[in-house]
Amino acid sequence: MSGKKQDSDYYVAERLIRKARQYRDAGSTACLERNRGLNQDGYTRISFGSDKRKRFAHRVIYERLVGSIPPGHCVLHSCDNRRCVNPLHLFTGTHQNNMDDMNSKGRGNYASGEQIPNSKLTAQQVSEIRRLTNDGYKQQELADQFGVNQTTISNLLRKRTWREVP
Residues forming the site for Zn ion (CB under 5 A): 31, 79, 81, 84, 86, 89
Nearest distance from residue 117's CB to Zn ion, in Å?
29
Nearer to Zn ion, 63 or 80 (CB): 80
CB 22 within 8 A of CB 9: no
Nearest distance from residue 31's CB to Zn ion, in Å?
3
**Please, what is the end-to-end C-alpha distance for the chain in angstroms?**
40
Nearest distance from residue 84's CB to Zn ion, in Å?
3
Nearer to Zn ion, 9 or 46 (CB): 46
Nearer to Zn ion, 80 or 141 (CB): 80
Burial of 62 (0-12, 13-18, 19+ CB in 10 A): buried
